[in-house]
């Protein structure tokens, strides 16, 4: 198991050091600094073995978090734990920075004592932790017996992510379908790989211990329902109006993973998503699709080398969705060679600029409706070099945001049942939003 956990600043100075196991000595702190943080070359692996001691590290801005062990630990668990640790810290004091860590070092030690025991991760749900560890020191002295046992039963309980007795005057639910669409396209316009990785992010402000059921246009469910004759729950949907472009009825989901509140065995047997939600913000599920993806933009590059000192670049982008919808924050990034001396750009729409420090022409368009196209052309002057190595021509990448789900996913329903309190599904105010963003959206040129 984890033998120790260290947090360093960018210079390699220790901010937090907590050792859980006797086999980890003080010298481990220095070993990591010397061999990884101060190492000359780029980090070649997130797992480093130094003198039979293994170090796992992740970096958040310029803060290093390192877990140390001398045993054959579950490596995936260690990384998951480090990410979780970051989440917990962020939810307590915001951004993970040297300043914030120093300001909260007592709190961090308390957390580390609670969520890692002898190197074994324990309950690390912030909802539960915040009931008894706070930035103002530990609660506990003045608690009543009931409060204490409520805390312990929540920390160890089946529903560790939600406490009893939550009350809201207005029961509200916010549901965001956030998708990032990834594309790798050849210069000829052939899709080399494309997938959507999506997340369903919720904010729930619900009283009591509500039981929720979430439904979407999952092909397997729809097909099953179609066969069984039990039709059109979809038709009744009051949530499906996200405004996707195609009339596609259902989508094939390659794989999905769920927040720990979702009953996995029920999903496995019935493919229904039911859960008791955490209070506040959380990510309900992640999913991935690869079939029938709507690619919101097509990039058509044309690069011509004119002699040894000049390049001509022309890039056309075409938007491919309903004309009534608007894409925003569009940015096209055209890489330029290292020996670029000057660039002239002409674009039909938006603003384009050559950024020497980033070796790229950045073309920004604020808004663009569907089924439109726009074009940029640039002349790049090159300094003559005797470098034999050819320019690697990195791909042209794109960023954008569109108000629909490129996977075609639609929310069919989200029902809330709370039998003990007197509010029903109809009393809950629900908000649904679809946002599609570019992930790694690249076209080779």
Identify residues 391-430 at the interface with other proteins (CB under 8 A). 392-395, 397
What number of other Cβ atoms are within 10 A of residue 296's Cβ? 27
| Among 35, 91, 97, 143, contact with other proteins (rule: CB under 8 A) | 143
C-alpha to C-alpha distance for 19 and 35, rounded to whole angstroms: 19
What number of other Cβ atoms are within 10 A of residue 327's Cβ? 23
Binding-site positions: 351, 353, 355, 364, 366
CB of residue 247 to other proteins, shortest distance in Å: 27
| Among 227, 230, 235, 265, contact with other proteins (rule: CB under 8 A) | 265
CB of residue 287 to other proteins, shortest distance in Å: 9
Q: Map residues 186-205 to x or -, x wherever contact with other proteins holds by CB under 8 A.
A: x-----xx-x-x--------
Q: Which stretch binds other proteins (CB under 8 A): 238-246, 294-302, 348-356, 386-394?
A: 386-394
CB of residue 83 to other proteins, shortest distance in Å: 6
| Among 412, 432, 442, 445, contact with other proteins (rule: CB under 8 A) | 442
C-alpha to C-alpha distance for 331 and 298, rounded to whole angstroms: 13
CB of residue 345 to other proteins, shortest distance in Å: 23
Q: Is 61 in the site for other proteins (CB under 8 A)?
A: no
CB of residue 438 to other proteins, shortest distance in Å: 13
CB of residue 78 to other proteins, shortest distance in Å: 8
Which of 100, 377 has the CB closer to other proteins? Answer: 100
* DSSP assignment string, 184-251: EE-TTS-EEEEEEEEEEEEEEE--SS-EEEEEE-BHHHHHHHHHHT---HHHH-SS-TT--SS----B
**Terminus-to-terminus CA distance in the chain, angstroms?**
47
Which of 54, 217 has the CB closer to other proteins? Answer: 54
Q: Distances in Å between the alpha carbon of 306 and those of 236, 377, 443?
A: 61, 14, 22
C-beta separation of 104 from 92 below 8 A: yes
C-beta separation of 16 from 6 below 8 A: yes
Residues 64-123 binding other proteins (CB under 8 A) are 69-77, 79-83, 102-103, 105-106, 109-110, 113, 117-118, 120-123
Give the chain's largest Cα–Cα span: 83
How is residue 281 annotated by DSSP? E
List the one residue out of 417, 398, 409, 415 whose CA is nearest residue 433. Answer: 409
C-alpha to C-alpha distance for 381 and 363, rounded to whole angstroms: 18
Which of 14, 90 has the CB closer to other proteins? Answer: 14
Q: Map residues 146-175 to x or -, x wherever contact with other proteins holds by CB under 8 A.
A: --xx-xxx-xxxx-x---------------
Going across the sheet that includes 297-306, the strands are 297-306, 310-319, 373-382, 340-347
Which of 246, 260 has the CB closer to other proteins? Answer: 260
Which of 23, 425 has the CB closer to other proteins? Answer: 23
CB of residue 192 to other proteins, shortest distance in Å: 7
Q: Is 367 in the site for other proteins (CB under 8 A)?
A: no
Residues 285-324 binding other proteins (CB under 8 A) are 285-286, 288
List the one residue out of 129, 65, 55 whose CA is nearest residue 101. Answer: 65
Which of 193, 324 has the CB closer to other proteins? Answer: 193
C-beta separation of 66 from 6 below 8 A: yes
CB of residue 232 to other proteins, shortest distance in Å: 27
Kindly state the number of chain residues that form the binding site for other proteins, as judged by CB under 8 A: 105
C-beta separation of 178 from 405 below 8 A: no
| Among 209, 225, 256, 362, contact with other proteins (rule: CB under 8 A) | 256
C-alpha to C-alpha distance for 434 and 158, rounded to whole angstroms: 32
CB of residue 238 to other proteins, shortest distance in Å: 27
Q: Is 264 in the site for other proteins (CB under 8 A)?
A: yes
Which of 30, 427 has the CB closer to other proteins? Answer: 30
C-alpha to C-alpha distance for 238 and 414, rounded to whole angstroms: 9
How is residue 268 annotated by DSSP? H
Residues 7-46 binding other proteins (CB under 8 A) are 13-17, 19-23, 26, 29, 42-46
| Among 132, 214, 275, 400, contact with other proteins (rule: CB under 8 A) | 132
Which of 107, 347 has the CB closer to other proteins? Answer: 107
C-alpha to C-alpha distance for 277 and 273, rounded to whole angstroms: 11
CB of residue 166 to other proteins, shortest distance in Å: 20
What number of other Cβ atoms are within 10 A of residue 132's Cβ? 19
C-beta separation of 126 from 90 below 8 A: no
């Amino acid at each position: 198991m984890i033998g120790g956990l260290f947090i360093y600043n960018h210079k390699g100075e220790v901010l937090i050091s907590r050792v859980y196991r006797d086999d980890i000595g003080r010298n481990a702190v220095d070993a990591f600094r010397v061999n990884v943080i101060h190492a000359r070359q780029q980090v070649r692996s997130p797992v480093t073995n130094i003198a039979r001691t293994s170090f796992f590290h992740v970096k958040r801005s310029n803060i290093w978090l390192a877990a140390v062990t001398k045993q054959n630990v579950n490596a995936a668990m260690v990384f998951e734990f480090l990410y979780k640790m970051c989440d917990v810290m962020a939810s307590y004091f915001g951004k993970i920075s040297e300043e914030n860590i120093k300001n909260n070092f007592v709190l961090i030690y308390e957390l580390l004592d609670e969520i890692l025991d002898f190197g074994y991760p324990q309950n690390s749900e912030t909802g539960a932790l915040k009931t008894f560890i706070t930035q103002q020191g530990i609660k506990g002295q003045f608690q009543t017996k009931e409060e204490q046992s409520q805390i312990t039963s929540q920390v160890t309980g089946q529903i560790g992510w939600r406490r009893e007795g939550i009350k809201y005057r207005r029961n509200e639910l916010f549901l965001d379908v956030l998708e990032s669409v990834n594309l790798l396209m050849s210069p000829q316009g052939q899709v080399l790989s494309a997938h959507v990785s999506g997340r369903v992010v919720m904010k729930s402000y619900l009283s009591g211990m509500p039981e929720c059921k979430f439904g979407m246009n999952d092909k397997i469910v729809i097909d099953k329902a179609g066969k069984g004759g039990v039709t059109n729950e979809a038709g009744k949907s009051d949530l499906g109006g996200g405004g996707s472009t195609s009339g596609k009825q259902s989508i094939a989901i390659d794989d999905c993973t769920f927040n720990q509140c979702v009953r996995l065995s029920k999903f496995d047997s019935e493919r229904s998503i039911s859960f008791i939600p955490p209070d506040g913000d959380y990510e309900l599920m992640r999913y991935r699709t690869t079939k029938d993806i709507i690619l919101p933009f097509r990039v058509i590059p044309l690069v011509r080398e004119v002699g040894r000192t000049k390049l001509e670049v022309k890039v056309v982008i075409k938007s491919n969705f309903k004309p009534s919808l608007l894409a925003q924050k569009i940015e096209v990034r055209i890489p330029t060679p290292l020996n670029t001396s000057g660039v002239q750009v002409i674009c039909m729409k938006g603003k384009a600029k050559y950024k020497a420090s980033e070796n790229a022409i950045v073309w920004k368009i604020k808004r663009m409706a569907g089924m439109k196209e726009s074009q940029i052309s640039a002349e790049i002057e090159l300094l003559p070099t005797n470098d034999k190595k050819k320019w690697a021509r990195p791909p042209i990448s794109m960023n954008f945001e569109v108000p629909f789900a490129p996977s075609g996913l639609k929310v069919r329903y989200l029902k809330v049942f709370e039998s003990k309190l007197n509010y029903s599904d109809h009393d809950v105010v629900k908000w649904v939003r679809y946002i599609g963003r570019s992930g790694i959206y690249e076209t080779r040129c």
